[in-house]
């Protein structure tokens, strides 16, 4: 059975994962949601106005009342700067499987933060929530996303042809997954601390 824990505060070596807040709107618009370099790799394109970001954050923050909502902002421990987001979604109670999505602001790419955040959430899902399998897909023109999945132990399971359509162009996606048992058998040292009390 899945042990839902909501989105507790998670600490890694360099990051804090925490709940998003409405007053993150300006920052999120500036470093993530308005930046086509980040958003072109996601299903929905960049936000044109701050009000789109405010609407999105309203949608996100009101879901924290449910302990089934697992969405975090990614914050640099040293500076307190918010640099991205990560979430577990499509949590299926029949299979106990879910998907993971993430984004890091362009200025912080290629410094290992995406890998560190993904590893934290994978560990949290398997060790604390008892999730059975985590999957994710990425457009084949976005190899960095596939790279971080491989770095946390996810396996490439195949290509889904024409999975998404952006600007009227279909794109193939790579699909990746990792099973709880595979992760636990890797016997990795724990990467995360949970900073608030969870049951
Ligand atoms: C995907 C993303 C989260 C990666 O975050 P990040 O913090 O840059 O990731 P890391 O620094 O931990 O690792 C990136 C890896 O990709 C590699 N990489 C970067 N660009 C690459 C490219 N064009 N081809 C192949 N590998 C590439 C880097 O070398 C690094 O691997 P290494 O550590 O072995 O050298 C970030 O690029 C992003 O937010 N992109 C836009 C949003 C997005 O794509 N979200 C996922 C949708 S599926």
Looking at residue 163, its pLDDT comes to 96
The ranges of the chain with pLDDT < 70 are 199
* CATH at residue 157: 3.40.630.30
How many angstroms separate the CA atoms of 14 and 117, rounded? Answer: 9
- Name the domain count of the chain: 1
Best residue among 144, 146, 148, 154 to mutate for probing ligand 1, ranked by most atoms within 8 Å of CB: 144
Residues within 6 Å of ligand 1 by CB: 38, 41-42, 102-104, 109-115, 138, 142-145, 147-148
Best residue among 81, 110, 173 to mutate for probing ligand 1, ranked by most atoms within 8 Å of CB: 110
Does 21 fall in a domain? yes
Exposure string of 26-50, with b = 16+ CB inside 10 Å and e = fewer, is ebbbebbbbbeebbeebeeebbeee
The separation between the first and the last C-alpha atoms of the chain, rounded to the nearest angstrom, is 15
Looking at residue 45, its pLDDT comes to 87
Residue 32 domain boundaries: 10-186
Which tokens is 78 given?
A: 């040293």
Distance 40 CA to ligand 1 centre (A): 14
Does 3 fall in a domain? no
Looking at residue 199, its pLDDT comes to 65
């Amino acid at each position: 059975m899945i042990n839902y824990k909501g989105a507790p505060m998670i600490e890694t070596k360099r990051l804090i994962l925490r709940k998003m807040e409405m007053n993150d709107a300006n920052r999120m618009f500036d470093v993530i949601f308005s930046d086509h370099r980040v958003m072109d790799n996601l299903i929905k394109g960049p936000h044109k106005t701050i009000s789109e970001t405010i609407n999105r954050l309203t949608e996100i923050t009101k879901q924290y009342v449910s302990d089934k909502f697992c969405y975090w902002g990614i914050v640099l421990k040293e500076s307190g700067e918010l640099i991205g987001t990560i979430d577990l979604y499509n949590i299926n109670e029949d299979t106990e499987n879910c998907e993971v999505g993430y984004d890091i602001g362009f200025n912080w790419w290629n410094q290992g933060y995406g890998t560190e955040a993904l590893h934290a959430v994978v560990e949290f899902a398997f060790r604390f929530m008892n999730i059975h399998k985590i999957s994710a897909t990425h457009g084949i023109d976005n190899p960095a996303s596939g790279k971080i999945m491989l770095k946390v132990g996810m396996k490439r399971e195949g290509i889904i042809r024409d999975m998404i359509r952006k600007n009227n162009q279909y794109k193939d996606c790579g699909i990746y997954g990792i099973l709880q048992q595979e992760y636990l058998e890797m016997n990795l040292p724990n990467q995360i601390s949970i900073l608030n009390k969870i049951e």
